[in-house]
């Protein structure tokens, strides 16, 4: 059965810390991996990864995909309280997106 597993399920850090969120997958016919940030209601798009080993970067956030080992990581450096959210990883295959359970990140000031 295709699935997406995120870890840790929740994380509490202090401002300025660096965090790494993990996403592993078992999906056939992989097309892309996407990361979303969900604060209150609708998720907002962060990254889409299709090629292995190529880092995508946006400000303090970066992400990379390893298609051989079937995982992706999302790094957030110099965390701020505004980074507190649920981070969702999703795999696209065929016509569907399958989401992981998410990682709840709380950044304390």
Partner 1 sequence: DGGITQSPKYLFRKEGQNVTLSCEQNLNHDAMYWYRQDPGQGLRLIYYSQIVNDFQKGDIAEGYSVSREKKESFPLTVTSAQKNPTAFYLCASHTDSNEKLFFGSGTQLSVL
Q: Which residues bind partner 1 (CB under 8 A)?
A: 4, 6, 9, 31-32, 34, 41-45, 48, 88, 90, 92, 95-102
Is 30 in contact with 67 (CB distance < 8 Å)?
yes
Q: In angstroms, give the least distance from the CB of 95 to partner 1.
A: 6
Q: Judged by CB, which is closer to partner 1: 17, or 48? A: 48
Q: In angstroms, give the least distance from the CB of 32 to partner 1.
A: 5
Q: In angstroms, give the least distance from the CB of 5 to partner 1.
A: 10
Q: What share of the chain is helix, strand, coil (3-state, %, to 5)?
A: 5, 60, 35
Q: How far apart, in whole angstroms, are the C-alpha atoms of residue 78 and residue 8?
A: 19
Of 104, 5, 10, 18, which Cα lies nearest the Cα of 62?
A: 18
């Amino acid at each position: 059965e295709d699935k997406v597993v995120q870890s840790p399920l929740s994380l509490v850090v202090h401002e300025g810390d660096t965090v790494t969120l993990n996403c592993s997958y078992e999906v056939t016919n992989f097309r892309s991996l996407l990361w979303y940030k969900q604060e209150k209601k609708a998720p907002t798009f962060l990254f889409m990864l299709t090629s292995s080993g190529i880092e995508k970067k946006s400000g303090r956030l970066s992400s990379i995909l390893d298609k051989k080992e079937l995982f992706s990581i999302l790094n957030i450096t110099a965390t701020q309280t505004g980074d507190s959210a649920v981070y969702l990883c999703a795999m696209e295959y065929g016509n569907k997106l399958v989401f992981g359970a998410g990682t709840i990140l709380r950044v304390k000031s």
